[in-house]
Amino acid sequence: MPSPTETPAAVEHFHESFEKLRAEIAKFMVGQKDIIENVLIAVICGGHVLLEGVPGLGKTALVNTLAKALHLKFQRIQFTPDLLPADIVGTQILVEREGRKVFEFQPGPVFCNVLLADEINRATPKTQSALLETMQEKRVTVAGATHPLDSPFFVLATQNPIEQDGTYPLPEAQLDRFFFKLFVPVPSHDDFHEILNRTGGSHVPEIHAVATGEDILQMGKLVREVPLETGIQNYLVKIVRATHPSDVNATDDVKKYVRHGASPRGAQTILAAARVLALLDRRYHVAREDIAKAALPALRHRVLLSFEGEAEGIKTDALIADVIEKVKV
């Protein structure tokens, strides 16, 4: 933990580093300010992100640009129904060493820093499950041998919400491992003009590395040291517990339309993101507003609707927003 005299300088350095990254990514990505900010928050906290949006909105470009700005090793996997777990994590191959044939581990594309899981919901549940260990423990186990992944490591996955043919719903256990779920919006009228101006000419913005993986790890270390008052933590716990139908603070809609509320991992996610938001506001303490702002992207994929909620087209975001509004500090 930084000393009282070092704290202001540490907070200011964190803010400057974050803004450098955001500005560098914004050279290529037009608009999408909130998306860029939330992706960076997740990366600094060591989390993974699920990006949902129609094709052509720049989800893949965002991930590629992020890897360049951080000077990290980038790999892309195009998920398809015939993709196998070995295509992701790697496999044992037979090689000849000093006149003897032995099995040797051939690493898969997951051995990188930034993994783009493109259209992740197109792979079968068996293949999707291959990512569970890599996302949580940051390691791969093949043939009884464990292989650690590089650090930092984070998965940025995409899925298309309008095309359901040939797709598989992500298992709840896998969804819970995503730090944030973000909806990528269609650009505004002015952003469309800017996109055409940047991509329709001969000049393509060049992305430079403005930070390293070690910088991200150091920023994450500072985030974990931001103090949290007991009252604010109590407010955070109330929000997460209020997503469960059986809780005393649950709203009427939660009781009616929710089958299962957010897990403790959701509370951990909100806390980590709220600490980053505090530092971005040049504060070394978490406020109620930080918790409220972080709750929506952290919980929207962790609250499971009941059959009645799905049949009536209830939006999880609306339920969570109602909980945030009604839960008192």
CATH of residue 18 = 3.40.50.300
Measuring CA to CA, which residue among 231, 249, 229 is closest to residue 239? 249
User: Does residue 53 sit in the same domain as residue 184?
Assistant: yes
Look at the chain and report how many structural domains it folds into: 2
Same domain, 209 and 272: no
Residue 273, in any domain of the structure: yes
The per-residue pLDDT of the chain, averaged, comes to 89
Q: Phi and psi (nearest 5°) for 87?
A: -70, -15
pLDDT at site 199: 74
| Contact indicator for 43, 216 with CB cutoff of 8 Å | yes
Q: What is the pLDDT of residue 165?
A: 63
User: Is 107 part of any domain?
Assistant: no
Query: Highest-confidence range of 143-147, 166-170, 203-207, by mean pLDDT?
Result: 143-147
Answer yes or no: do 186 and 258 share one domain. Answer: no
Q: Which residues of 58-95 are buried (b: 16+ CB within 10 A; e: fewer)?
A: bbbebbbbbbbbbebebbbbebeeebebebbbbbeeee
User: Residues 129, 174: contact at Cβ < 8 Å?
Assistant: yes
My answer on whether 310 and 190 are in the same domain is no
Lowest average pLDDT, out of 97-101, 139-143, 172-176, 188-192, goes to 97-101
Task: Clarify whether residues 221 and 315 are in a common domain.
Answer: no
Identify whether residues 132 and 156 lie together within a single domain: yes
| SS3 label, residue 65 | helix
Q: Can you tell me the distance from the alpha carbon of 9 to that of 28, in angstroms, rounded to the nearest whole number?
A: 30
Co-location of 188 and 329 in the same domain:
no
Kindly indicate the confidence band of residue 256, based on its pLDDT and cuts at 50, 70 and 90.
Answer: very high
Domain interval for residue 4:
1-83+113-225
Last residue of a domain, one of 225, 260, 291: 225
Q: What is the C-alpha to C-alpha distance for residues 52 and 175, in angstroms, rounded to an integer?
A: 13
Give per-residue pLDDT as tens, 82-122. 888 889 998 888 888 877 888 888 888 999 999 999 998 88
Read off the pLDDT of residues 189-199 as tens digits, 9 standing for 90 and up. Answer: 888 888 888 77
Whether residue 34 is found in the same domain as residue 144: yes
Contacts of 72 (CB under 8 A, 6+ apart): 112, 113, 114, 152, 212, 213
Which of 205, 225, 245 lies at the terminal end of a domain, its last residue? Answer: 225
Do 268 and 120 have their domain in common? no
* pLDDT at site 220: 94
95 in a structural domain: no
Separation of alpha carbons 287 and 227, rounded Å: 10
Clarify whether residues 296 and 283 are in a common domain: yes
Q: Which of 176, 198, 225 is the last residue of a domain?
A: 225
What is the average per-residue pLDDT within 281-291? Answer: 94
pLDDT of residue 114: 92
Same domain membership, residue 147 and residue 26: yes
CA distance linking residue 308 with residue 312, whole number of Å: 6
- Lowest average pLDDT, out of 145-149, 193-197, 235-239, goes to 193-197
Average pLDDT over residues 226-252: 94
Q: Tell me the pLDDT band of 152, cut-offs 50, 70 and 90.
A: very high
Q: Is the pTM of this model over 0.75?
A: yes
Q: What is the CATH number of the domain that holds 238?
A: 1.10.8.80
66/184 same-domain check? yes
Q: Apex CA 68: angle with CA 63 and CA 73, to 5°? A: 85
